Structure 1
Amino acid sequence: MKNDFLKSMDFRHACKVFDETKKISNEDINYILECGRKSPSSFGMEAWKFLVITNKELKAKLKPECWNQAQITTCSHLVVVLAGIESAKLESGLPKKRFSRRKMKKEMLDMYLSIYSEHLKKTLSSDENIYAWTSKQTYIAAGNMMSAAAFIGIDSCPIEGFDKDRVEEILKLDTTKYQVSMLLPFGYRINEQSTQVRLPFKKVVEFID
């Protein structure tokens, strides 16, 4: 099992062009998205949403705003990873709902809400600061989705190269609620993978006994 997972890590690469003739099955894309949904997040807030785009016209409209990268239109499924804004705010009532799922007593719930508000006082002071925090959380989900995809032989490519304002405008997003964190195309490679280059283990890992 360990080797199987490592093999999927070797398989995974930033796919530059997908095979437009191949489509991901509903079962497989749901598996990938479920691995994203089950990912950990700070305070368990799950301040994210995944828009799954298969509409060719919409992908074509997004492409120029994404540096004309071929992945946007050649992929089978384009997942737009959104970072939550409103859901992180105490006044939305959602943090309380998230904590309440743990079936705790009122005193404990109040304590968690107090810790949340105090620890994140600066973070929660503006939408810009909230985005900086919640967008980081989305990368955990995105990493798990890419790993899950690779494990079942599906390619991906995380994309940060895009005009955020234009993409949000095209998608008609209410940016007080959600903002775009990244675009994550999934599909099947059309070309052979280039050799994966990584630093040696000892250059990256240091054990402190």
Structure 2
Amino acid sequence: MKEEFFKAMDFRHACKVFDDTKKIPEEDLNFILEVARKSPSSFGMEPWKFLVVQNQELKEKIRPTCWNQVQITSCSDLVIVLAKIEDVKVESGVPEKRFGRRPMPQEKKDFYINLYANHLKDTLSSDKNIYEWTSRQTYIAVGNMMTAAAAIGIDSCPIEGFEKDKLEQILELDTTKYQVAMVLPFGYRLNEQSDQLRLSFDEVVEFVK
């Protein structure tokens, strides 16, 4: 299992050019998205949504907002990772529903809601602060998606280089509810990847005993 996992990690890289003649089978795409759905999140809020853009004309419109990167239009499927805004606010009622998924007395549920509201008091004070928090949560799902894709021979490329406001306008997003956190194309590489360049184990790991 360890060897297989490391094979996936070694296979994964930020793919610069996808083979636009190859499409990801629906079963494999759904596997990647299911991994995202099962990813952990702070307080179990699941503050994300995944838009899967398969329409080529829409990809063409999106590409200029992403620094004209070719991956946007050459990929098989373009996943726009959204961070939730409204749903994490206490007054939306959604956090209470999330806590209520596990059976518990109302007293205990109220305890968790108060803990959530007090711990995140500053975070929940503005949409900007909420976005900073929920967009970070999406990266957990993104990392899992990319590794899952690599495990079945599918490439990806996490893209932060995009004009957020323009992209949200093209997608006609209600930004009080959702905002773009990342653009994540999936597909199959056209060229072989170069060797990964990483710092050594000792440079990035320190044991405190």
Count of aligned pairs: 209
User: Deviating runs (4+, > 6 A) in structure 1?
Assistant: none
Q: Secondary structure at the match of 2:183?
A: strand
Alignment pair present for 1:14 and 2:18: no
The one-letter code sitting in structure 2 at the alignment partner of 1:167 is L
Distance 2:9 2:47 in 1: 27
* Deviation, structure 1 residue 104: 1.1
Aligned position for 1:76: 76
Aligned position for 1:194: 194
- The residue correspondences of 1:36-115 to structure 2 (distance < 5 A) are 36-115=36-115
Distance 1:113 1:52 in 2: 32
Distance 2:159 2:65 in 1: 12
Unaligned runs of 5+ in 1: none
Aligned position for 1:144: 144
Distance 2:104 2:77 in 1: 39
| RMSD (Å) for aligned C-alpha atoms | 0.4
Distance 1:7 1:202 in 2: 21
The one-letter code sitting in structure 2 at the alignment partner of 1:55 is N
Q: Deviation per CA, 1:76-127: give whole Å up to 9, x if none.
A: 0000000000011011100000000011110110000000000000000000
Give the fraction of aligned pairs with identical amino acids, expressed as a percent.
70
Distance 1:104 1:131 in 2: 30
Aligned position for 2:2: 2
* Deviation, structure 1 residue 139: 0.1
Q: Deviation per CA, 1:145-166: give whole Å up to 9, x if none.
A: 0000000000000000000000
Distance 1:56 1:195 in 2: 31
* Deviation, structure 1 residue 2: 0.6
Distance 1:192 1:50 in 2: 28
Q: Secondary structure at the match of 2:173?
A: coil
Q: Deviation per CA, 1:22-55: give whole Å up to 9, x if none.
A: 0000000000000000000000000100000010
Unaligned runs of 5+ in 2: none
* Deviation, structure 1 residue 143: 0.3
Distance 1:98 1:73 in 2: 37
Q: Secondary structure at the match of 1:40?
A: coil
With normalisation by structure 1, the TM-score equals 0.99
Distance 1:73 1:37 in 2: 25
Aligned position for 2:35: 35
Distance 1:103 1:129 in 2: 31
